Amino acid sequence: MGRLFLFVVLLVALVVIVFVLITIAARFLDAGQKMLRSTNGQIKEGLMVPTPFQKITYAALIVLLFGVATGWLGGL
């Protein structure tokens, strides 16, 4: 009987922890969306213009992924 009670308590604790984490993540996402909203009515596509640094990092990421997948990097 004690094991069953412990299992129920752990299950409830897990559900509460997941609920709290989802709530925190939703608040972070909501705050981020509020910060990205423009005050002059500009649409979202105009706000997210890639910088040269972003382009370089995306190219480096593609090279890294290709190298790891083919064994060129990673030593398979």
- Count structural domains, the chain: 2
* Residues 3, 33 share a domain: yes
* Residues 17, 29 share a domain: yes
- Domain holding 56, by residue range, is 41-76
* Residues 18, 33 share a domain: yes
Instruction: Return mean pLDDT, the chain.
Output: 79
Highest mean pLDDT among 13-17, 45-49, 55-59, 72-76: 13-17
* Residues 15, 46 share a domain: no
Cα 67 to Cα 71: distance, rounded to the nearest angstrom: 6
- pLDDT tens for 27-52 read 888 887 777 766 665 555 555 556 77
* Residues 56, 33 share a domain: no
* Residues 31, 5 share a domain: yes
